[in-house]
Amino acid sequence: MTTTTTIVTGGDRRTSRSSRRVEPIYYLFLLPSLVLFTLAITVPGIVGIFFSFTDSIGIGEWSFNGVTNYVAMFSDPAILQSYLFTFGFSIATVIVVNVIAFLLAIGLTSRIRLKTGLRTVFVIPMVISGIIIAYVFNFLFSNSLPAAGSAIGVPWLAESLLANPDLAWVAIVIVTAWQAVPGTLLIYIAGLLSVPGDVYEAADIDGASRTQQLFRITVPLVAGYVVINVILGFKNFLNSYDIIVGLTNGGPGTATRSVAMTIVQGFFGGDYAYQMANATIFFVVAVLISLLQLSLTRGRNTF
């Protein structure tokens, strides 16, 4: 594939590379994935962007209406509320997930017994379907916790969080974090294990406390992992759908309706072109976040 020629002259070692030549067999292996990706992702995306400039309802006749759908979006309170909830929920969940995962990672990389078994236990929520988790917690929030609150005489616990338009988002954050912590935890464990032990030994010799070691050694050395977890987590939480559907279905009212829910419900409600414009804007937001992630992680030795 690549021919490397090394020239040594008077102790000066220089390496020159010939032009790269890719074997045709690699293109053959790439072709099926490329075709599937094009048919399943690229073509539908292009078609969707095209119809966002029309008045199509998904079937039947349609006509071009320019940027009418895009202009209408910015004055639609339902769309604006869905973006406000989605970004607020994503920011809150990112903070909760990363704080919990980082603290757990510190504990699971310390000198404790059974830490291997504990790591396995903490990873279990990551492999369970989100909709199943949502239905289980829906029962807990709607029945078990209110019953317990009534039994012990705690008024605020006797009412389901899912029925409170001001607090329903808290339940969604709790359930989403419960499922998302394991994946973030694994990345933090990898980051903590990559820190050389000699650094901590030198800090002990200098008399640094555990708190000082945490904030002056551990946190700076795993900062790249923190950035990756924050950006990836935020991008994933923006697309939250199944847990919200299983817990509140966007309610009470539209208090917890995310952008993804708004788009999907619009497809089945006759707002195909309008929600395609919404999906296009949402896609642009995701691309911008991805570019931000690349710019922040470029040059970091994290993986």
Mean pLDDT per block of 10 residues along the chain (303 residues) reads 45 49 84 92 92 89 91 91 94 96 89 76 85 92 90 84 90 94 92 87 86 87 89 90 92 91 86 92 89 73 50
Classify burial at 185, counting beta carbons within 10 Å of its beta carbon; exposed 0-12, middle 13-18, buried 19 or more.
buried
- Phi then psi for residue 74, to 5 deg, are -75, -5
Domains of the chain by range and CATH? 75-297 (1.10.3720.10)
Tokens of 182: 């394991």
Other Cβ atoms within 10 Å of 230 Cβ, number: 18
Q: What is the per-residue DSSP string for 276-301?
A: HHHHHHHHHHHHHHHHHHHHHHTT--
Phi-psi domain of 285 (left: phi exceeds 0; alpha: psi -120 through 50; beta: other)? alpha
State the Cα angle at 201 between 200 and 202, rounded to 5°.
Answer: 90
Q: Where are the alpha helices (DSSP H) in the chain?
A: 24-37, 43-51, 68-73, 77-108, 115-123, 130-139, 145-152, 155-158, 168-193, 197-205, 210-213, 219-221, 223-238, 242-247, 259-268, 272-297
Give CA–CA dist 63/44, Å, rounded.
Answer: 19
Give CA–CA dist 265/267, Å, rounded.
Answer: 5
Task: Please report how many Cα atoms fall inside a 13 Å half-sphere around the Cα of residue 2, on the Cβ side.
Answer: 5
SS3 303: coil
Give CA–CA dist 152/136, Å, rounded.
Answer: 23
Give CA–CA dist 303/133, Å, rounded.
Answer: 31
| Cβ–Cβ < 8 Å for 69, 274 | yes
Tokens of 228: 């990756």
* Structure confidence at residue 302 (pLDDT): 52
Give CA–CA dist 67/146, Å, rounded.
Answer: 48
SS3 241: coil
* Structure confidence at residue 300 (pLDDT): 56
